[in-house]
Amino acid sequence: MQNLSNADVRDIETIIHPYTNLAAHRETGPTVIERGEGVHVWDNNGKRYIEGLAGLWCTSLGYGNGELIEAAREQMSRISFTHLFGGKSHESAIELAEKLKEIVPGKASKVFFTSSGSEANDIQIKLAWYYNNARGKPQKKKIISRDKAYHGVTIATASLTGLAPCHIDFDLPMARILHADCPHHYRGAEPGESEEDFATRLAENLEALIEKENPDTVAAFIAEPVMGAGGVIVPPRTYFEKIQAVLARHDILMIADEVICGFGRTGRMFGSETLGIRPDTISVAKALTSAYVPLGGVTVGEDVYQAMLDESRKIGTFGHGTTYSGHPLGCAVAVKVLEIMERDKIVEHVQSVASVFETRLKALGEHPLVGEARGVGLIGAVELVRDKNTKAQYDPKAGVAAKAAQFCQDEGLIVRNLAGDAVAICPPLTITGGEINALFDMMEHGLDKTLDWARREVE
């Protein structure tokens, strides 16, 4: 057991931490974060860190942004809460929905607000079902996700998520959710198979899955443009073009989960634009408010909206909504985030510093511990391996990526270890070239220490 402070003990005795080894946490205690400014946060011992994961891939405009704080204060003093049920409305929600309709890829007819990414994807499933009932296709209900996808933690969205800890002993995935292949060339390609050929094979596998299930039973396919929590997996060239051709042949909706990739992360406003996706609908959250307050949402295409109108006439109401769907605080902050992004040319900034990020990331690929360094824009990961040539992994029980994240944290860099011994990097979009270099310097030191440790303790 480490030296635990009073705050540590209070934490351990009171809080259940999400995605944490609860048993190990009792020994190590928490890292208590106290304040933030720009790309930095400080813990309760005064130690400064670069927030190399932007919180949870979300604090895109960094910490302590006075304009966002003022937008929140102003909204709360004007009207702290009003809702959208029964036709009530408020200006911040209207303004935000107008803005989203203008900027999202594909044709959005309307926007439905939620409080999180999980809720956004959850309603995507409900809408796909509702839509197919409305258009007289009650059998067309299955949703295809992918191995290693991350779409949330509600019963339905944890089922979409393709990661074992979200299923084991939660009795998931639920019925009518299927998983297609993970588009990871480094791990999934046959020897010598090109990215294009790998993409073709995955599209063929998808079509075979749809045909086996019967296309009349498949409603939608959901995908993150770049998989985040599954290991920052950038799909192979031509992947989405080939996948979408299959979906179009079988009248299957394409849902783009833009919860991480949306709002500049990949160097375009939306990941769909970077990866060549033409979505029928998208889910957003996280950077929509730069995580100053919770807010998510989905865009609804005209066909689905017309079906919702028909159902409303038949049933008497659209029977979905949570108290905080379109909370004024979230909407006001999101309006300000989008204004700042436009005014300060944040997407252009990402494009200009992405070359530093990509160069340094690629260089990490040379590290003896790194099997693959991958990423796009300002999101990346390194996958740690025992043997670069054979791609052999460490025993997952050794916790090599967790150890690397800890060594980086000791250096003053917060990053996140993911399944498959990946370590993810996803800093605030406002990061400068100098700060990117500082981030990678710390990461290099952290990996050096991890290698020493692994040679001593693991091999």
Ligand X SMILES: Cc1ncc(COP(=O)(O)O)c(C=O)c1O
Shortest separation between residue 283's beta carbon and ligand X, angstroms:
7
Residue closer to ligand X, measured from CB, 92 or 161: 161
The answer to whether the beta carbons of residues 247 and 254 sit under 8 Å apart is: yes
Q: Which whole-number Å values give the CA distances from 65 to 36, 116, 385, 394, 414, in the listed order?
A: 10, 21, 39, 41, 20
User: SS3 of 110, please?
Assistant: strand
Residue closer to ligand X, measured from CB, 228 or 377: 228
Pairwise CA distance, residues 250 & 253, whole Å? 9
Pairwise CA distance, residues 155 & 152, whole Å? 9
Residue closer to ligand X, measured from CB, 12 or 419: 419
159, 156, 153, 161: which is closest to 182 by C-alpha?
A: 161
Dihedral angle computed from the Cα positions of residues 167, 172, 177 and 179, in that order, rounded to the nearest 10 degrees: 30
Residue closer to ligand X, measured from CB, 178 or 379: 379
Shortest separation between residue 398's beta carbon and ligand X, angstroms:
25
Residue closer to ligand X, measured from CB, 79 or 164: 164
Pairwise CA distance, residues 431 & 50, whole Å? 10
Residue closer to ligand X, measured from CB, 178 or 233: 233
Pairwise CA distance, residues 310 & 320, whole Å? 15
Shortest separation between residue 297's beta carbon and ligand X, angstroms:
11
Shortest separation between residue 181's beta carbon and ligand X, angstroms:
18
Residue closer to ligand X, measured from CB, 177 or 260: 260
Tell me which residues touch ligand X (CB under 6 A): 56, 116-118, 121, 150-152, 224, 228-229, 257, 259-260, 285
Shortest separation between residue 233's beta carbon and ligand X, angstroms:
12
The answer to whether the beta carbons of residues 299 and 100 sit under 8 Å apart is: yes
Shortest separation between residue 268's beta carbon and ligand X, angstroms:
16
Shortest separation between residue 157's beta carbon and ligand X, angstroms:
7
307, 255, 250, 261: which is closest to 281 by C-alpha?
A: 255
243: which residues sit within 8 A by CB, 6+ positions away? Answer: 202, 203, 206, 221, 223
Residue with the CB atom nearest ligand X in the bound state: 117
